């Protein structure tokens, strides 16, 4: 049976810019992968072309077929997680095998307010 998981302490999903993200990556695979990668990235969704940027990559070398490894990732200062009418920006972690055959993602929020910034609630001031 194949399974991958990214576990964060207390199932925490929201982090402040500059925090150190600590957690565990767990995998159970049918065959031993060459390497495992944990990537921190953000992506946009909305009306226009999507953007994506991988901000950091942690390599788990010499993995076993079934294993749990801990990780520590310093989070960047920006961009914040936000959602507006035209575009939303989402942060996520991806745990993936070196052959890109199996992967799991976990969305997180990076914001100084502890929640995703909702731009749809900020009405334009009448001029």
Partner 1 sequence: MNARNNPFSSRHVESLAYQYPGISVYDIMARLKGLNYRAAIVGPEGSGKTTLMETIGAGLQKEGFQTLYVRFDEENKKLRKDLFKYNPDKLTTDHAFLVDGAEQLSWLAWKFLCLYTKKAGAVIITSHAQAQRIRMIPTLLNTTTSPELLYSLVLKLVGEKHMISGREISRLFESHHGNIRLALRELYDIWSDK
Task: Kindly indicate which of the ranges 5-13, 29-37, 82-90, 92-100 contains the residues binding partner 1, using the contact rule CB under 8 A.
Answer: 82-90
Nearer to partner 1, 25 or 116 (CB): 116
Question: Residue 77 and residue 19: Cα distance in Å, rounded?
Answer: 9
Please state, in angstroms and as integers, the Cα–Cα distance from residue 86 to each residue in 4, 50, 92, 124, following that order: 33, 11, 20, 15
Round to the nearest angstrom and report the end-to-end CA distance of the chain: 61
Q: In the bound complex, what is the minimum distance in angstroms from residue 90's beta carbon to partner 1?
A: 7
Q: What is the DSSP string of 75-93?
A: PPS-PPPEE-SSEEEEEEE
Query: Is position 83 an interface residue for partner 1 (rule: CB under 8 A)?
Result: yes
> Which window, 2-10, 13-21, 31-39, 116-124, contacts partner 1 (CB under 8 A)?
116-124
> Which of 120, 123, 125, 127 forms a contact with partner 1 (CB under 8 A)?
120
Told to check if 84 binds partner 1 by CB under 8 A, we report yes
Interface with partner 1, residue 5, by CB under 8 A: no
Of the candidates 104, 108, 109, which has an alpha carbon nearest to the alpha carbon of residue 5? Answer: 104
Give the range of 17-25, 30-38, 69-77, 113-121 binding partner 1 by CB under 8 A.
113-121
Tokens 């035209």 belong to 86
- Please state, in angstroms and rounded to a whole number, the distance separating the CA atoms of residues 97 and 99: 5
Using CB under 8 A as the criterion, which residues of the chain lie in contact with partner 1 when the complex forms? 44-50, 83-88, 90, 118-120
């Amino acid at each position: 049976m194949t399974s991958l998981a990214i576990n964060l302490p207390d199932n925490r999903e929201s982090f402040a810019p500059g925090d150190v993200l600590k957690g565990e990556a767990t995998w159970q695979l049918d065959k031993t992968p060459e390497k495992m990668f944990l990537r921190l990235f953000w992506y946009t969704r909305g009306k226009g072309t999507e953007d994506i940027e991988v901000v950091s990559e942690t390599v788990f070398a010499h993995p076993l077929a079934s294993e749990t490894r801990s990780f520590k990732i310093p989070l960047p200062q920006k961009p914040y997680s936000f959602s507006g009418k035209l575009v939303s920006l989402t942060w996520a972690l991806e745990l993936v095998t070196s052959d890109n055959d199996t992967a799991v993602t976990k969305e997180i929020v990076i914001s100084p307010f502890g929640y995703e910034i909702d731009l749809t609630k900020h009405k334009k001031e009448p001029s």
